Amino acid sequence: MASREKELSKLTQTSDPPGGQLAQVAERLIYPFLHGEPPKPQTPTGFYTDTTVCIGCKACEVACKQWNQLPSDGFEWSGNSYDNTTELSASTWRHVKFIEQFADLPSGNGVSLNTTPGESILNRWLMMSDHCKHCLAAPCNQACPTGAIIHNEFENVYIQADICNGCSCCVAACPFGVITRSDMGGHSHKCTLCYDRQRDGLEPACAKACPTQSIHFGPIDEIRENARKRVEELHRRGVPQAYLYGDAASETYSEMHSFYLLVDRPSVYGLPDEPFNPWLHMMGDYARSIVGGLAAIVALFIALFLLRP
């Protein structure tokens, strides 16, 4: 989107208003204040990513880049398994992570990173296709001062690229490190959950491309139900550590419309173990801010009042 935005911004559009520079300036000033008719709410949708069947093929990354016309990030060997994408960014909205857990420790004592003492070593690969969590109470949305970040009619978190002014509040707010500001254009970008495809009744490009059905897309209630059944099935089949991450709200974080089936601690996958919504502190922080200021005003006022002639 970032490169397309740059290219298209230079072209004259048929929708461009007639007139000279003054008209363009006026258009630029007025345009953001014109609020359109919001679309009718649709069935909420989301992703459920079953990491146990991910094979790390990165077809989702490629499909995402291709459909959304995202530029290449170049190529560098990261040294971190097969993960040379390294992170989500304004131009990378899907990121396949690779975790290698094998027992050839020098001591050979059979204790591995992600197992508690006494637990058997699994000797396994973990792979996970990461993306925006589309949180129900999204900190990025709460932080955004322009109204660029919205929950669209599918209850997905969506950045309106023509409104964002690149203040970076969303970058600071996201506890998952999903959003970054693009160097090209200076605006924030992230996964749209293929909003354009959804509006045309299509599933997102990544889910369409996934050859193992690790990425499930659909009505959120339906995929949540399927995910819970899958967890039960895995428990029956001898994978007791399987659980869902983000499918339900916790005390400190809302439910997510993109949730995961994991078989190890969240931090192993680069996810926060206990995600925390910073907005839970906001009222207290405001109160302390006001107390700090009022204390100074009262002190100043008393000093002036007592010392005045």
Please list every residue from 29 through 48 that binds another protein, using CB under 8 A. 29, 32-33, 35
| Residue of 43, 86, 250, 252 interacting with another protein (CB under 8 A) | 86
Query: In angstroms, what CA-CA distances link 249 with 237, 243, 246?
Result: 27, 14, 7
| Residue of 53, 57, 62, 167 interacting with another protein (CB under 8 A) | 167
* C-beta separation of 125 from 200 below 8 A: no
Residue 243: which H helix or E strand, with range? strand 243-245
Q: Give the nearer residue to another protein in terms of CB position, either 203 or 264.
A: 264
* C-beta separation of 224 from 12 below 8 A: no
Give 128's strand partners: 97
Q: How far is the CB of 145 from another protein (least distance, A)?
A: 4
**What residues from 267 to 286 belong to the interface with another protein (CB under 8 A)?**
267-273, 276, 278-279, 281-282, 284-286
Q: Give the nearer residue to another protein in terms of CB position, either 104 or 251.
A: 104
Three-state secondary structure call for residue 99: strand
Query: d(Cα 173, Cα 178) in Å, to the nearest integer?
Result: 10
Listed ranges 43-51, 62-70, 166-174, 225-233: which one lies at the site for another protein (CB under 8 A):
166-174
Q: What's the full length of the chain, in residues?
A: 309
Q: How far is the CB of 37 from another protein (least distance, A)?
A: 16
**What residues from 104 to 123 belong to the interface with another protein (CB under 8 A)?**
104-105, 112-114
Rounded to a whole number of angstroms, the distance between the first and last alpha carbons of the chain is 67
Q: Give the nearer residue to another protein in terms of CB position, either 48 or 269.
A: 269
Q: Is 299 in the site for another protein (CB under 8 A)?
A: yes
